[in-house]
Structure 1
Amino acid sequence: SAGLCSAQQTAEFAAKAKLESVVVLPTYHPAGLYVFLPSVSFPKPIFSKGSSILLLAMHPKRWLCWCNPAFCVWLFVFTSLIKDTTTCESEERLFHKLFSQYNQFIRPVENVSDPVTVYFEVAITQLTNVDEVNQIMETNLWLRHIWNDYKLRWDPREYDSIEFVRVPADKIWKPDIVLYNNAVGDFQVEGKTKALLRYDGMITWTPPAIFKSSCPMDITFFPFDHQNCSLKFGSWTYDKAKIDLLIIGSKVDMNDFWENSEWEIVDASGYKHDIKYNCCEEIYTDITYSFYIRRLPMFYTINLIIPCLFISFLTVLVFYLPSDCGEKVTLCISVLLSLTVFLLVITETIPSTSLVIPLVGEYLLFTMVFVTLSIVITVFVLNIHYRTPTTHEMPKWVKTVFLSLLPKVLLMQRPLEQQKKNISRKSKKGSANMLGKSKHNKQKDTKLHKEQQCHHCDKATELTTTKRRQPSHRSLKWMAEHMEYSPEVKDVISSVQFIAENMRSQNENKEVEDDWKYVAMVIDRVFLWVFIILCVFGTAGLFIQPLIAHT
């Protein structure tokens, strides 16, 4: 039922028997022991087609052949179990050999004066959070430690060619590497993960850890800021003479890094430092990784800066609003309240520090000062707009600067000037016509007086002659004083004189009021351009200043 056969004999048997299928499996048992299966009846002739022939050997240089597929599967599982059983026994013997007399508290060096060389590398998988208020950076890291332990070596040939074993980290000696600038939580990683042990004593231990490290924040250019956060690793108790810490590569391993939605890692470099502290005479080695990160400003740009810019430009429109409209001060106060709300929102998102003021805070403060000035200027402009000749007299320098000089500089044209000239001409013509009609009427009155009162004829003639000799531009008042009229005519003349004087006074007052209104409009136009220029340059400075600083 069982026997030894070589690979060549197996091929010859398969060819002679015309087997439907042949499965050949190598055997692994090192002792070369035979394995006897339950008795199987074989039909005769032995090499007929479709026969079931079993040739089994458990020597490494022999082969196993079986023509029945179902039985081959069963046999494969059986031999695998035998192999696994022998491997587990080998690992058990290996663990017993390695750790039966092993002490994990003693440094693995043959000479006590020799240092343990530890290779160290950091791999970052996620930048979890950057807390600007508490100035903490939270990261998810893999810390790779590699060192050699001469007490954990073996010959793979004695243990079924076992070259690697996974051992619990708390069973072996480990370097006590901690994070010096840890802010919250444990300074040292937990030893719950296993280490990979190689047959030559080389140990690779890569525990994952979540660190919350302290990171001083420079918020000068918030939200266009760059931060430089460092992670300082080193042995807490062993100096350089006991542990020689070496860095693997010069960069942080970012092959498994998950991108953060708010921060981008621009650079992450590592450096080795040998430092002598004031407390001790020994030199301690540390490896510091500097994470140069940049904030992605889109969130703050969309939700903070752009609304702030729109509100800032509303301040400009205050000076374009006519002074007759009573909503100028209301608009200014509304803009001021909106900016105050934005400033309160920013205060909750930036660190509480008195060292620097963030750029956005400076911009909002600058805009708030502008809005406050716009309120003051608006009140001043409204005061000028509603001035009258009865309350204020316009100085000559105001007329020169605001009525002649600045309108030309600002390209402002006053269309009422030509209308005033036309109105003045029409007024002169109307006065002349009125004066002519008054003369004609008074001549009739004089003739009537001559007929009724003869003793006044000479006087009337003298007065008429004197009147004709007077220039045509004399007022009606002179005629009323030198002529005698009936009471009805005198009332008419007084009424006409009152109306003329009142109209002239109203026109003069209207001209002065229009001048004051025009001065207010010129002041509004001046501050309109001033605010536009300052808002544009302030906004440009908000975006350009961080670029200049970081280049």
Structure 2
Amino acid sequence: MHPERWLSRWYPAFGVWAFMVTSLIKDTAACESEERLFHKLFTHYNQFIRPVENVSDPVTVHFELAITQLTNVDEVNQIMETNLWLRHIWNDYKLRWDPKEYDGIEFVRVPADKIWKPDIVLYNNAVGDFQVEGKTKALLRYDGMITWTPPAIFKSSCPMDITFFPFDHQNCSLKFGSWTYDKAKIDLLIIGSKVDMNDFWENSEWEIVDASGYKHDIKYNCCEEIYTDITYSFYIRRLPMFYTINLIIPCLFISFLTVLVFYLPSDCGEKVTLCISVLLSLTVFLLVITETIPSTSLVIPLVGEYLLFTMIFVTLSIVITVFVLNIHYRTPTTHTMPRWVKNVFLSLLPKVLLMQRPLEQQKKSISRKTKKGSASTSGKSKHSKHKDSKLHKEQQCCHCDKAAELTTTKRRRLSHQSLKWMAEYTEYSPEVKDVISSVQFIVEDDWKYVAMVIDRVFLWVFIILCVFGTAGLFIQPLIADT
């Protein structure tokens, strides 16, 4: 075979082989350089000693908080659960090197438990570890600058103000600081003034309105030293759609059912049943709410106030309904209607409420019949002079007795017995008997009409109370926001 052809065939293979060998040599050299670097850095390194050249100098730690998720807000136990990234940046002079001596290596990843770390803890932690775990690695730069960003899930204490639940805002804080080092040993500096939310995953129930950080230098009663902490305040707002659809709107509908109690006729016999059913429904809703709000006696939540208002509302409707039913089933036989009741409930209030009684027309016709009947009776009395004198005296005696009875009840309506007696035992013309029967029917229905007027009065009163009471309660969060 010609040498040139042989070289042209195998030359690419030799090139690939040479590249692989060269890369392997370089990787081996890099691994050797990194191994030499680790050996150089950590041979005599003590991770328990603060990295300062002078003991009196503080270690300056730059701190930043990044939130990835607002996991849960537990109103009952008053705990806020968050998924966080805690970025720590400080300088360790003992971990420096010259990149030229180690094949240009500028960054190395080192286990966090191999280096000194600031003991930053969450002061107001409620459940779990106060300090983050050191299982993650730290990024070490050649000039000794260390960046350590461990993830952590914290459950912090958060006092909940549930006055306007479910239209409430909460202000929960996360207080970070060194547990053992005072300001003379560790000086915390905050990076930026806001929490990093670039990787935040939105919550379905809560919205973070603002998350700001502040540095504080505090002197505690236990110690003479000054301790530095960085506190992040999370101002969160509840998204009320879930509670509005599943709680508020059903309560509104149930409370408005109470108004219909006064529109329901008394003869149906279901007025009290409807009131009690509404009261039981509200009681069930109140039991549901007690499982979702904190057990506190300091404030009553807005929904609790509304349910309490509605329960009082329904209880009053039951009392009023019983009173109305008592009025409805009264008769002239058992109760005599006072004059003020007639003036107020039969004359004044119906005009104010634009109620027109169908029997008003009947009363007018009765008055016309009365005039005709009186004329007919006077004519008949002239012819009755020829009757037996004994019978005439008995009738006169009866009329005298009746006149005496009417005199004693002068300012009262004729009783049911007197009307019945007049209709059965006196001799009047058919027109007068019709008048007496009609008056008797009207007297019996006066109590029912009074009950109807009372129902109509409380119908409007409860509509006004329900509308303005509901608006007054639920407008409070808007006023508080402004």
Structure 1 length-normalised TM = 0.75
1:421 and 1:352 map into 2 onto residues whose CA distance is 66
2:396 to 453, 472, 478: 453
- Answer whether contact 1:103 1:172 (CA < 8 A) is retained: yes
Can you list the C-alpha shifts for 1:26-69, whole angstroms capped at 9, x where unaligned? xxxxxxxxxxxxxxxxxxxxxxxxxxxxxxxx999999999954
2:350 and 2:397 map into 1 onto residues whose CA distance is 66
1:263 and 1:451 map into 2 onto residues whose CA distance is 93
Tell me: CA distance 1:539–1:466, structure 2 relative to 1, closer, same or farther (3 Å): closer
Tell me: CA distance 1:237–1:427, structure 2 relative to 1, closer, same or farther (3 Å): same
The offset of 1:325, in angstroms, is 1.5
1:299 and 2:242 correspond: yes
The offset of 1:473, in angstroms, is 23
Q: Say which SS state the counterpart of residue 454 (structure 1) adopts.
A: helix
Q: Say which SS state the counterpart of residue 259 (structure 1) adopts.
A: coil
Structure 2 length-normalised TM = 0.86
The offset of 1:424, in angstroms, is 3.1
The offset of 1:518, in angstroms, is 1.7
The offset of 1:463, in angstroms, is 28
Deviates more, 1:369-378 or 1:400-409: 400-409
- Answer whether contact 2:63 2:189 (CA < 8 A) is retained: yes
**For structure 2, which runs of at least 5 residues remain unmatched after alignment?**
none
2:396 and 2:222 map into 1 onto residues whose CA distance is 134
Partner of 2:326: 383
Can you list the C-alpha shifts for 1:272-312, whole angstroms capped at 9, x where unaligned? 00000011000000000000000000010000000000000
The offset of 1:130, in angstroms, is 0.4
1:540 and 2:471 correspond: yes
Deviates more, 1:60-69 or 1:168-177: 60-69
The one of the two structures with greater contact order (alpha-carbon pairs below 8 A, sep at least 6) is 2
2:312 and 2:364 map into 1 onto residues whose CA distance is 44
The offset of 1:151, in angstroms, is 0.3
Tell me: CA distance 1:272–1:85, structure 2 relative to 1, closer, same or farther (3 Å): same
- Answer whether contact 1:463 1:482 (CA < 8 A) is retained: no
Deviates more, 1:285-294 or 1:79-88: 79-88
- Answer whether contact 2:123 2:175 (CA < 8 A) is retained: yes
- Answer whether contact 2:372 2:431 (CA < 8 A) is retained: no
**For structure 1, which runs of at least 5 residues remain unmatched after alignment?**
1-57, 500-511
Can you list the C-alpha shifts for 1:107-146, whole angstroms capped at 9, x where unaligned? 0000000000000000000000000000000000000000
- Answer whether contact 2:67 2:200 (CA < 8 A) is retained: yes
1:297 and 1:521 map into 2 onto residues whose CA distance is 41
1:406 and 1:490 map into 2 onto residues whose CA distance is 32
* TM-align CA RMSD: 8.1
1:97 and 1:536 map into 2 onto residues whose CA distance is 79
1:471 and 2:414 correspond: yes
The offset of 1:395, in angstroms, is 1.7
The offset of 1:489, in angstroms, is 20
2:409 and 2:223 map into 1 onto residues whose CA distance is 125
1:458 and 1:530 map into 2 onto residues whose CA distance is 48
Tell me: CA distance 1:467–1:544, structure 2 relative to 1, closer, same or farther (3 Å): closer
1:465 and 1:365 map into 2 onto residues whose CA distance is 52
- Answer whether contact 2:52 2:92 (CA < 8 A) is retained: yes
Q: Say which SS state the counterpart of residue 211 (structure 2) adopts.
A: strand
Tell me: CA distance 1:459–1:77, structure 2 relative to 1, closer, same or farther (3 Å): closer
Tell me: CA distance 1:165–1:420, structure 2 relative to 1, closer, same or farther (3 Å): same
Partner of 2:76: 133
Tell me: CA distance 1:322–1:386, structure 2 relative to 1, closer, same or farther (3 Å): same
- Answer whether contact 2:30 2:103 (CA < 8 A) is retained: yes
The offset of 1:451, in angstroms, is 25
Can you list the C-alpha shifts for 1:229-252, whole angstroms capped at 9, x where unaligned? 000000000000000000000000
Q: Say which SS state the counterpart of residue 394 (structure 1) adopts.
A: coil
2:86 and 2:397 map into 1 onto residues whose CA distance is 135
Q: Say which SS state the counterpart of residue 7 (structure 2) adopts.
A: strand
The offset of 1:429, in angstroms, is 3.0
Tell me: CA distance 1:186–1:468, structure 2 relative to 1, closer, same or farther (3 Å): closer
The offset of 1:464, in angstroms, is 30
Deviates more, 1:322-331 or 1:386-395: 386-395
- Answer whether contact 2:377 2:428 (CA < 8 A) is retained: no
Can you list the C-alpha shifts for 1:400-457, whole angstroms capped at 9, x where unaligned? 2222222222222223212211133235435655775786698699999999999999
- Answer whether contact 1:449 1:456 (CA < 8 A) is retained: no
Can you list the C-alpha shifts for 1:473-507, whole angstroms capped at 9, x where unaligned? 999999999999999999999999999xxxxxxxx
Can you list the C-alpha shifts for 1:345-386, whole angstroms capped at 9, x where unaligned? 001110000000001001001100010000000000111111
Identity of aligned residues (%): 92
- Answer whether contact 1:167 1:197 (CA < 8 A) is retained: yes
Give 1 or 2 for the bigger CA radius of gyration: 1
Tell me: CA distance 1:200–1:459, structure 2 relative to 1, closer, same or farther (3 Å): closer
- Answer whether contact 2:339 2:412 (CA < 8 A) is retained: no
